[in-house]
Amino acid sequence: MNNPRKPVVVVTRKLPASVEARMGELFSVELNHDDRPFSRERLAEAMARADVLVPTLTDTIDAQLIEKAGPKLKLIASFSNGIDNVDVDAAARKGITVTNTPNVLTEDTADMTMALVLAVPRRLAEGARLLAGSAPDSWQGWSPTWMLGRRIWGKRLGIVGMGRIGTAVARRAKAFGLSVNYHNRNRVNPETEAELEATYWDSLDQMLARVDIVSVNCPSTPATYHLISARRLALLRPEAYIVNTARGDVIDEAAMIRCLEDDRIAGAGLDVFENEPAINPRLLELAKAGKAVLLPHMGSATLESRIDMGDKVIINIRTFFDGHRPPNRVLPGRI
Ligand SMILES: NC(=O)C1=CN([C@@H]2O[C@H](COP(=O)(O)OP(=O)(O)OC[C@H]3O[C@@H](n4cnc5c(N)ncnc54)[C@H](O)[C@@H]3O)[C@@H](O)[C@H]2O)C=CC1
Ligand SMILES: O=C(O)C(=O)CO
């Protein structure tokens, strides 16, 4: 580094040991060994004196906190792909650069999305729970009419948000015999569309009315808040399933719960929730009834992705303090 003074870097959560060790070599780093989430006061205190804050998606870095940040704070290098928890506009106004960790978790999150696409119609969680919770002789054996789910092969998938993860989901879905439909802000390039044999729907409403499984893969932004609204949920066919590995607030969760309870849709596979980590108890009841498979936000949770995310954070900090534009800079209005 050109600057002999090591930047003061405050990390809000425990990271993989190799990442923390490398940060210790490069920066004057303050780690969070006990992994307890920072309170708002502790965040404010860290932002008052650090050169760099390394938050993650569970830290809300809003305009109020950013306005009160100390003059040294120049970089918020988030350990996350989604950046909805950081007010990027407020950071830009204050001259603070924001970075995230895209790409390295795309394949893992797409795998988990596909796992949910399979798990709900094929009743995977129900079957596994049945054996895990039962006495050794309580299963009476195979029967032609028992535990029947719905076929995946030949069905229509509708992806909302055909970016990195959406496209990786589409590749997997094609291999499972699903036809790929998508709605996105922009149409993807013709080569990708041809490779995936994907159908683009300019109208989200029309796509929702047509598909068998919806996969939500767009970011949480003011424009996508409750994008899957009560009105749009009503467009889904009663046999349709919905999978969300993006952010909880892209779907009107209360409206989705009513649809599931009233059998107006067939099921849901959810890795994310509107009020994480709180989960609506009615969703837990739906999971018990086999109408929902719920995961505790673990879409990208592999050791490999966490190490790669840590490497990205380090590279973003290093390039910034070497006087270059960090590779994963998030610009206002570009999410
Ligand atoms: N469950 C988990 O553990 C993880 C969840 N995520 C979530 O997945 C999201 C997507 O990640 P990536 O695919 O890497 O992002 P991306 O930026 O590559 O793709 C998002 C796509 O959504 C589209 N989009 C944005 N606003 C839209 C709108 N109003 N209508 C239609 N399309 C819109 C964009 O044009 C883009 O193509 C992240 O923002 C994050 O919230 C990301 C990683 C892990
Ligand atoms: O990085 C993100 O956006 C996640 O949701 C978890 O990896």
Identify whether residues 191 and 71 lie together within a single domain: no
Q: 140 and 222: one domain?
A: yes
Q: Does the beta carbon of 102 lie inside 6 Å of ligand 1?
A: yes
Q: Which atom of ligand 1 is nearest to the CA of 112?
A: 1
Q: What is the pLDDT of residues 20-52, one digit of tens each?
A: 999 999 999 999 999 999 999 999 999 999 999
**Average pLDDT estimate for 228-247:** 98
- Among 17, 62, 56, 64, which residue's Cα sits nearest to residue 38? 56
Could you tell me if residue 131 is inside a domain? yes
Mutate to test the pocket of ligand 1, among 56, 58, 79, 81 (most ligand atoms within 8 A of CB): 81
What pLDDT score does 127 carry? 93
Same domain, 85 and 23: yes
Is the per-residue pLDDT at 2 higher than 50?
no
CB 121 less than 6 A from any atom of ligand 1: no
pLDDT digits (tens, 9 = 90+) for 244-298: 999 999 999 999 999 999 999 999 999 999 999 999 999 999 999 999 999 999 9
Q: What mean pLDDT, rounded, does the chain reach?
A: 96
CA of 220, nearest ligand number: 1
Specify the higher pLDDT residue, 299 or 136.
Answer: 299
Q: Does residue 3 carry a pLDDT above 60?
A: no
What is the pLDDT at residue 272?
98
pLDDT tens string 76-131: 999 999 999 999 999 999 999 999 999 999 999 999 999 999 999 999 999 999 89
Residues with catalytic annotation? 247, 276, 297
Whether the pLDDT of residue 4 is over 80: the answer is: no
Residue 1, pLDDT score = 44
Confidence of residue 137 (pLDDT cuts 50, 70, 90): confident
**pLDDT value at residue 170:** 98
Give domain status of residue 50, yes or no: yes
Q: Do 137 and 176 share a domain, yes or no?
A: yes
Residues 165/167/170/172 CA torsion (nearest 10 deg): -60
Nearest CA to ligand 1 atom 44: 300
Is residue 286 located within the same domain as residue 163? yes
- Assess if residue 1 is contained within a domain: no
Q: Which two tokens stand for residue 144?
A: 């032609």
Q: Residue 248: nearest ligand to its CA?
A: 1
Q: Catalogue the E-assigned strands of the chain.
A: 8-11, 28-30, 52-54, 75-77, 97-99, 156-160, 179-183, 199-200, 213-216, 241-244, 267-270, 292-294
pTM for this entry: 0.97
Ramachandran class of 290: left when φ > 0, alpha when ψ lies in -120 to 50, beta otherwise: left
Q: Is 132 in the same domain as 280?
A: yes
Nearest ligand by distance to the CA of 164: 1
What residue numbers bound the domain in which 163 lies?
106-294
Q: Give the residue from 329, 312, 317, 328 showing the smallest Cα distance to 29.
A: 317
Answer whether residue 145 is part of any domain. Answer: yes
Beta strands in 164-209, from DSSP E residues, in sequence order: 179-183, 199-200
- For 177-233, what is each residue's pLDDT tens digit? 999 999 999 999 999 999 999 999 999 999 999 999 999 999 999 999 999 999 999
Q: Report the run of H or E that residue 22 belongs to, with start and end.
A: helix 17-26
Judge if the beta carbon of residue 184 lies within 6 A of ligand 1: yes
Say yes or no: CB of residue 56 within 6 Å of ligand 2: no
Query: Ligand 1 pocket check: which of 100, 116, 165, 274 to mutate, most ligand atoms within 8 Å of Cβ?
Result: 165
How many domains, in total, are found in the chain?
2
| Residue 165 region by backbone torsions, left for phi larger than 0, else alpha for psi between -120 and 50, else beta | alpha
In-domain check, residue 327: no
